Structure 1
Amino acid sequence: MTANSTAFTHREPSSLEIRPRYEGSNICTWIGFKHVNYLVEEAVLNHLRQSGLLPGTVYETYGLCTDIVDIDTRILHAFHIDDVAHAEVKPHRKAKDGELLLSVVLHVQRETLLKAVTSTVRVQLRLDPRGGGNEPLPASLAPYAVEQLAAVPAWDVVAPEVNPDSADLVKELTAGTNSFAWKFRIPYWYCHFTERIQMSGYLRLMEEAKDQLVADRGVSIKTLLDEQNWIPVVPHSRITVLDEARMEEDLYVVLTVEEIFKGFTYTSRMDTYVVRDGALVHTATGRITHGYAVIENRRDWSLVSFDDRMNAALEGKAA
């Protein structure tokens, strides 16, 4: 899309072949959930470009910021660093007029071509007041433009009743819950389009939240790796943007253990907040499911059931 070409038709499917980033190969050659979501993000951006919406061009021409505001991803088969992801993107069957709701499938070659990842992604085009001098919005883009990011979550979200002016807001946010929380100053490298935290920033925080929670409860990732050869694995993650969080604001990140399922997986909810104009603002919510696997060799792993120490830690009973 250019200033003289305003057609945007995203109804046709798109495809892309892409490799995982080397950074995502944290344990042996397996790719972590964060970088699997990065593959999904790249597939979505490629789909938009093939449809006529180039994120850089529409920003520079019309002041529209291309933002992922909801990403719901299930991992069915693990990616390794040398794998090629075969991505297919199309409009989601539940997409309504005026919304960019996309379905993403990633395949990986093994003995046959396997469906490795499925994801549902919601995109919004956020009008940016900075810069000025924008061209009028073309009719093909106007239905997707919003003045503020805010996706509608698929689950009920209730912010806690706390005093935003509390001297220990972290303690108030976790009181009476099976949670861990900390305060995080949003740096510029978690943001894009000048000042707002982007989806990849929330993915980083979700990964860090897991790391901090288990370390606080005596079962850090390194501890279990050294003592039991265990590593965490993620079959499902979702993050939904509820409001905007801005560069250099203090973001309060809360991870709450919600359910332990048959001693093999557990689900946690991540919520993030900022204090703005004297009020607590809920900026994002999400869920992630973890299990643990034992490393069998440099290529293979298998799921294990939680032992007493892990169950106690997840229930908040460990020292």
Structure 2
Amino acid sequence: MSGTAVKALLNESTTVVLSPGYEGANIGTIIGFKHVNYLVEKAVIEHFRRNGLPVGRLYEENGLGFDIVDIDSRLQTALVVDDQASIEVTPNSKDDARELSFKVTITVERDGAPKKAVASKVKAVLRYDENDVRMLRRLPVPEGLERFVTARIGGSEPGAEVPAVTEQLISGGSAESDAVLEQLLAGKNAYGWKFRIPYPFVHFFERLQMSGYLRLMEEAKHRFVDARGLSIRKLLTEQNWIPAVTHSRVQLLDEALLEEDLYVVYTVDNIFKNLLYTSRLDTYVVRDGRLVQTSTGTITHAYGVVENGKEGRLVTFDERVLSAFNNEQA
């Protein structure tokens, strides 16, 4: 049975209809990029279930934790809270791949016709839980999945030495300055902070999961513009402008663990035609006095005006926005 299930998982497409989470409707009734990616993740998990390999059972019986390690999504049409989104998951793992790969397409109805809203590429691994205290028994890995099993996600080489930091954060706490941050931000058009990883951000007891990184990516945008004097509330109040995301990608490079201090750096890379700008998000932990990068990501933002809940249009950046993004005096 497992051989048939694995063959279907790796070769057959599935389609599921899902509704966005109401929590994600923070732009009128439009769903933010984070919750769009949550839908993508949910559809891939449903793909496993429909092919007889539910991700919960893979952990309970085989000690294999399902982890998305790369999610790359392009948003072509906004999703709204009332959408019944049709989501197709198509496997496309190469024969020698060590990661499970999928193409995910989200389609919604607009004006009585189907319209492609999101195109995503997803990579996942099955992380083996070696803890014999938690996993008292394990069945063998289902035949055909062995090459996607890993003892550790990523494996970044230790980077630069950093100064010792003695200040202790409590779980979920953050700080905007210390010697490590100063080193990470030196000479960059960037904003950063330190964040002690709390329990709500992790899964399988201790690992920061993809959804946690997506939450940090969203928070980074808010912190960055607030630090530059253009908070989201300020532009909403004064001009009815709201950030809009057209593309996002997050890649896991190593594991970040519960109650580690995570250094988050948001760097502005490019501004295109005063309409879009791209930023990079990099995260690090400090181990044995050296930086270890745990993730990298990119996000493309615009500003838009939303009326009647979902009617949106993009706007061009004005001088104060451009000055803030370029870290210049307005």
| Alignment partner, residue 165 of structure 1 | 164
| Alignment partner, residue 76 of structure 2 | 76
Q: Which deviates further from its counterpart, 50-59 or 265-274?
A: 50-59
Please point out which of 136, 140, 143 is paired with 2:140. Answer: 136
| Alignment partner, residue 154 of structure 2 | 150
SS at match of 2:6: coil
**Paired positions, count:** 312
1:185-232 CA-partner distances (Å, limit 9, x unpaired):
000110001100000000000000000000000000000000000000
- Cα distance 1:141–1:207, how it changes in 2: closer, same or farther (>3 A)? same
Q: How does 1:169-318 map to 2 (within 5 A)?
A: 169-318=180-329
Q: How does 1:48-67 map to 2 (within 5 A)?
A: 48-67=48-67
| Alignment partner, residue 101 of structure 1 | 101
1:8 maps onto 2:6 in alignment: yes
1:20 maps onto 2:20 in alignment: yes
2:205 aligned partner, one-letter code: T
Task: Provide the rounded CA distance (Å) in 2 between the counterparts of 1:17 and 1:295.
Answer: 26
| Alignment partner, residue 114 of structure 2 | 113
Instruction: Give yes or no for contact 1:264–1:305 (8 Å, CA) kept in 2.
Output: yes
1:123 maps onto 2:124 in alignment: yes
Instruction: Give yes or no for contact 1:162–1:172 (8 Å, CA) kept in 2.
Output: no
1:302 aligned partner, one-letter code: R
SS at match of 2:304: strand
Task: Provide the rounded CA distance (Å) in 1 between the counterparts of 2:63 and 2:4.
Answer: 14
Shift of 1:159: 8.9
1:105 aligned partner, one-letter code: T
1:208 aligned partner, one-letter code: E
Instruction: Give yes or no for contact 1:70–1:151 (8 Å, CA) kept in 2.
Output: no
Shift of 1:138: 2.9
Question: What's the Cα RMSD here?
Answer: 2.0
Instruction: Give yes or no for contact 1:232–1:291 (8 Å, CA) kept in 2.
Output: yes
| Alignment partner, residue 155 of structure 1 | none
1:134 aligned partner, one-letter code: R
Shift of 1:318: 3.8
2:120 aligned partner, one-letter code: S
Task: Provide the rounded CA distance (Å) in 2 between the counterparts of 1:101 and 1:34.
Answer: 20
Shift of 1:246: 0.2
Shift of 1:6: 8.0
Instruction: Give yes or no for contact 1:217–1:318 (8 Å, CA) kept in 2.
Output: no
Unaligned runs of 5+ in 2: 166-177
Instruction: Give yes or no for contact 1:170–1:182 (8 Å, CA) kept in 2.
Output: yes
Shift of 1:276: 1.2
Instruction: Give yes or no for contact 1:164–1:280 (8 Å, CA) kept in 2.
Output: no
Shift of 1:97: 4.3
Task: Provide the rounded CA distance (Å) in 2 between the counterparts of 1:164 and 1:146.
Answer: 32
SS at match of 1:205: helix
2:181 aligned partner, one-letter code: V
Instruction: Give yes or no for contact 1:95–1:102 (8 Å, CA) kept in 2.
Output: no
- Cα distance 1:311–1:162, how it changes in 2: closer, same or farther (>3 A)? farther
Task: Provide the rounded CA distance (Å) in 2 between the counterparts of 1:108 and 1:174.
Answer: 41
| Alignment partner, residue 170 of structure 2 | none
- Cα distance 1:298–1:139, how it changes in 2: closer, same or farther (>3 A)? closer
Shift of 1:299: 2.8
SS at match of 1:116: strand
Task: Provide the rounded CA distance (Å) in 2 between the counterparts of 1:247 and 1:236.
Answer: 28
Shift of 1:161: 4.1
SS at match of 1:139: coil
Structure 2 length-normalised TM:
0.90
Unaligned runs of 5+ in 1: 153-157
Q: Which deviates further from its counterpart, 265-274 or 90-99?
A: 90-99
Q: Which deviates further from its counterpart, 253-262 or 293-302?
A: 293-302
Task: Provide the rounded CA distance (Å) in 1 between the counterparts of 2:241 and 2:228.
Answer: 16
Instruction: Give yes or no for contact 2:6–2:142 (8 Å, CA) kept in 1.
Output: no
Instruction: Give yes or no for contact 1:65–1:128 (8 Å, CA) kept in 2.
Output: yes
Task: Provide the rounded CA distance (Å) in 2 between the counterparts of 1:74 and 1:298.
Answer: 22
1:163 aligned partner, one-letter code: V
Instruction: Give yes or no for contact 1:106–1:117 (8 Å, CA) kept in 2.
Output: yes
